[in-house]
Amino acid sequence: MQTPTTLDQLSLKQSAEVVAIDWAAISDNEGRRLRALGIDKGVSVEKLYRGMFGMNDPIALKVGRMMIAVRKSHAKAISVCPVAVTTPA
């Protein structure tokens, strides 16, 4: 296991496991949507794409066989632990 980071800091093409979510930083409704889209503690995600011109917002994630878009503001509240070994950026 590598050092935990937040989802917005994760490098591209990097798989990670969600270790904690700061629900207080996300509104109730958004939190429910996040869970409904399959993002929760213990779930594996992979960061696939970033927004226009390489801006780190929004972020496209792979969750299971689904791709979802989240904003940086939410990604900051999601702590992840990178799983596969890649060269650190």
Partner 1 sequence: MSELAPLIVLAGNPNSGKSALFNALTGARQKIANYPGVTVERKSGHFSFADGRPAELVDLPGSYSLDPTSPDEEVTRSVVMGLQKGERRPDVIILVLDAANLDNHLRFALEVIALGQPVVVALNMMDLAERDGLTLDPAKLEQALGVPVIPTVAVRRRGLEDLSAAVENRLLHKPENIEPVVAKDRDRGLSKQAKRIANLAVVSETAGRRWSERADRLFLHPFAGPIILFAVLFVMFQAVFAWSEAPIGLIESASEWVAAGVEANLPPGFLRDFIIEGAIGGVGSVVVFLPQILILFLFILLLEASGYMTRAAFIMDRMMASVGLSGRSFIPLLSSFACAIPGIMATRSISDPKDRLTTILVAPLMTCSARLPVYAIIIGAFIPPTQVGPGIGLQGLVLFGLYVFGIVGAMIVALVLRSTVTKGPNSGFLMEMPKYQLPLMKDILIGLWQRAWIFLRRAGTIIFGATVVLWLLLTFPKVPEDSAMSQVDYSVAGRIANVIAPVVEPIGFNRDIALALIPAMAAREVAVAALATTYAIDAPDEEAEAKSLTERLQSRWSLPTALAFLAWFVFAPQCISTIAVTRRETNGWRWPAFMVAYLFTLAYVAAGITYWSAVALGL
Residue ranges binding partner 1 (CB under 8 A): 26-27, 29-30, 32-38, 40-43, 48-55, 57-58, 60, 63-71, 73-74
Smallest gap from residue 8 Cβ to partner 1 (A): 13
Smallest gap from residue 84 Cβ to partner 1 (A): 16
Nearer to partner 1, 37 or 83 (CB): 37
Smallest gap from residue 22 Cβ to partner 1 (A): 14
In 1-89, which residue ranges form alpha helices assigned H by DSSP? 28-36, 72-75
Nearer to partner 1, 42 or 88 (CB): 42
Among 32, 51, 34, 52, CA closest to 43: 34
* Pairing mode of beta strands 5-6, 15-21: unpaired
Among 89, 58, 62, CA closest to 75: 58
